[in-house]
Structure 1
Amino acid sequence: MPDYYPFDPEPRRPVRLPPPKSCDSQFHVLGDPAVYPTRPGAAYHMPSATWERARHVHAQLGIERGIIVQTTTYGADHRVVLDGLKALGPNYKGCANALVFGERDDAYLEELDAAGINGARFSFRAALGAVLDDAAFDRAVGKLTDLGWYMKVQPEQTGIAGSLDRLRDLTLPVLIDHMGRVDAAKGEDDPSFRALLDLLDKGNFWVMLSLGEKISKTGAPFDDVVPLARKLIVHAPDRVVWATDWPHPVSKQQPPNDADLLELLYRYAPEEADLTRILVDNPAKLFGFA
């Protein structure tokens, strides 16, 4: 596995706390490999990124809800997410890895559903080794529909534009991660940014404001990402959510303090009404919080 940087171990308090019931729409939990064996060929592992550490991050940030997203590290074995959900309680839900549809049976899917998992993440990043072929993708979409789950999409490193053929005809709720991995240097002229706006126009697509620190070409304080995020908020204000992406897997540079990322969101959404939609109302609707 390649070298990468760990998360900041000392999350600070943000300049101001977010609204009550704010949600971190994507974070991962990992653990002791003796308890949670890694999938052969996994791109990364970070056993220190436990649910206990995640809970501490959220407590510092003032985050009260969250979505544990199964990492490609464990593939179809969701024990770490199930244990995390039991420990963190009803303010947390889970998102499966799409490999589960090809490797586990319906009884296992029902177990995940009963535990509070109601979506599945599909990776289009070939480097992570967890990409479904076309036939498996189509079967998985059918399973999602039967379960009433949403689809979550991790775009290719080069952006979402290259995956449109798989996405444009979908009718179930679809959440596009990491702002579609737009090229901040190209700004609104980037084909992936234009493709993302077109998908949002369909009405069943959502976008997650995350990974701004990696999308940015200029580095901290990530000024080049701010206008793109603001454009997405204006374009689909009721279908935008936000996430830390903690513990920031496969980071080639030291990840920012997680409070920096929350404060970056405050720059994306300076109006309190927009911030409340992004952190509270929209995730409650998509993920099914009361």
Structure 2
Amino acid sequence: MPDQQPVSPHWGVFVPPGLSCDAHCHVFGPGDRFPYAESRRYTPEDKPKEVLAALHARLGLGRAVLVQASCHGTDNRAMLDALRSDPTRYRGVAMIDDETPDATLAEMHEAGVRGIRFNFIKALGGGPDLAVVRRAADRVRGLGWHVVLHLQGDGVAEMAPAIRALRMPVVIDHMGRVDPEQGVEGRAFRMLLALLEDERIWVKLSGAERMVPAPFTAALPFARALLRAAPDRVLWGTDFPHPNLAVPVDEAELLDLVPLIAPRPEDRQRLLVTNAATLYGFGD
């Protein structure tokens, strides 16, 4: 049996509203059932669906969006298995390529997939040809899906024209992983704010632990600015189990940042509940 104990003894102080959604988390393996991709740049510790469910029970989160990670590549079976285990509470974001059959897209939609993700982080192998992204977007647009982009810093500005040209909702992961040393006036962050003027573009107020050291409060100015720019198009997530992060993270500390990002209850409701329900089609 996988370890279902809390990942740390800290339980946090913020109690999230009912049906709060972890809009960015992963399941890894188990590798003997769902092997990792041969082309992967890292091999994670197994964190199957049971471990993720235990984390959400500990934090008081009622919904989740399971995002396919590069270590599994376009083999989405582990993510889909988790979606099917709790179809009311879970939605998914897949990774696909030109070889993914249309029938598989239909099966994934039935299982709860609502988006596709492309990774443009150089350390993880860099991004695909933009023609691949456009072809994939064209294939899933009719399903009502969106595109999720994992970018880093200057990649936000470099990808801005392509993002605007996609003609469908686009979600930017982890606040664009901008360089915190450049501050909120940095070129990449200003471009991210400019992109949010387009009502098709969303952003996740996640990844504070990738930007700054604990207690992560140095990331607050970025998250607050994004929430002000697009209060109805911001999402929050834990990024559990934090792949490729060297320092252990207590997700309760990340959840405790939420009232600091969004002091007003109505903004917290949007960030944790309403926005995710809108984008991912959760029922009431």
Letter in 1 for 2:72: Y
Which secondary structure does the structure 2 equivalent of 1:197 belong to? helix
Question: Secondary structure of 2:33's partner?
Answer: coil
1:192 lines up with 2:188 in the alignment: yes
Select the residue among 21, 24, 33 that pairs with 1:23.
21
2:27 & 2:234 partners in 1: Cα distance?
Answer: 23
Residue in 2 that maps onto 1:57? 55
Per chain length, whose mean CA-contact separation is higher, i.e. which structure has more relative contact order (CA < 8 Å, sep 6+)?
1
The code of the aligned residue for 1:55 comes to A
Check whether the contact 1:159–1:182 (CA below 8 A) recurs between aligned residues.
no
| 1:195 CA displacement | 0.8
* Letter matched to residue 92 of structure 1: Y
Q: Residues 137-168 of structure 1, C-alpha deviation per residue, up to 9 Å, x if partnerless?
A: 22112112122201111003654222223212
| Residue aligned with 2:94, SS | strand
Q: Return the alpha-carbon distance in structure 2 between the equivalents of residues 11 and 150 of structure 1.
A: 37
**Residue identity opposite 2:22 in structure 1:** D
Q: Of 212, 217, 228, which aligns to 1:234?
A: 228
CA contact (8 A) 1:75 1:130 kept: no
Note if contact 1:24-1:243 (Cα within 8 Å) is conserved in structure 2: yes
- Give yes or no for the alignment of 1:129 onto 2:125: yes
- 1:253 aligns with 247
Question: Percent identity over the alignment?
Answer: 39
Task: Please state whether the residue corresponding to 1:179 is helix, strand or coil.
Answer: helix
Aligned to 1:272: 265
**Unaligned stretches of 5+ residues in structure 1:** 1-7
Which residue number in structure 2 is paired with residue 146 of structure 1? 142
- Measure the CA separation in 2 of the matches of 1:9 and 1:38: 23
Q: Greater CA deviation, 53-62 or 219-228?
A: 219-228
Q: Distance in 1 between matches of 2:14 and 2:257?
A: 12
Tell me, yes or no, if the aligned pair for 2:44 and 2:71 is still in contact at 8 Å: no
Q: Deviations over 1:40-64 (max 9, x none)?
A: 1212232431110100110010000
Partner residue of 2:70 out of 64, 69, 72: 72
The root-mean-square deviation of aligned C-alpha atoms, in Å, is 1.7
Partners of 1:46 and 1:11 lie apart in 2 by 22
Structure 1 residues 240 and 19: CA distance shift in structure 2, 3 A: same
Kindly state the Cα deviation for residue 35 of structure 1 after the two structures are TM-superposed: 1.2
Q: Aligned with 2:80: secondary structure?
A: helix
Cα distance in 2 for partners of 1:268, 1:161 equals 24
State whether structure 2 residue 26 is matched by structure 1 residue 33: no
In the alignment, structure 1 residue 179 sits paired with structure 2 residue 172: no
Instruction: Give the counterpart letter for 1:227 in structure 2.
Output: P
Contact 2:21–2:62 (CA under 8 A) maintained in structure 1: yes
The Cα offsets for residues 4-57 of structure 1, whole Å up to 9 and x where unpaired, read as xxxx82364221310000000010001222211111121223243111010011
Give the Cα separation in 1 of the matches to 2:72 and 2:9: 26
For structure 2, the residue ranges without an aligned partner over 5 or more in a row are 1-5
Q: Equivalents in 2 of 1:138, 1:66: separation in Å?
A: 27
In the aligned structure 1, how far is the partner of 2:105 from the partner of 2:242?
Answer: 27
1:63-95 CA-to-partner distances (Å, cap 9, x unmatched) read 000001111111111110111112233111111
Supply the distance in 2 between the matched residues of 1:84 and 1:103 (Cα, whole angstroms): 23
SS, match of residue 192 in structure 1 = helix
| 1:284 maps to which of 277, 280, 284 | 277
Deviation of residue 130 (structure 1)? 6.3
**Alpha-carbon distance in structure 1 between the residues aligned to 2:281 and 2:13:** 29
Is 1:206 the counterpart of 2:199? The answer is no
TM normalised by structure 1 equals: 0.91
Matching residue of 1:5: none
- Quote the residue 1:3 is aligned against: none
Number of equivalences: 279
Query: Which whole-Å CA distance do the structure 2 matches of 1:52 and 1:212 have between them?
Result: 25
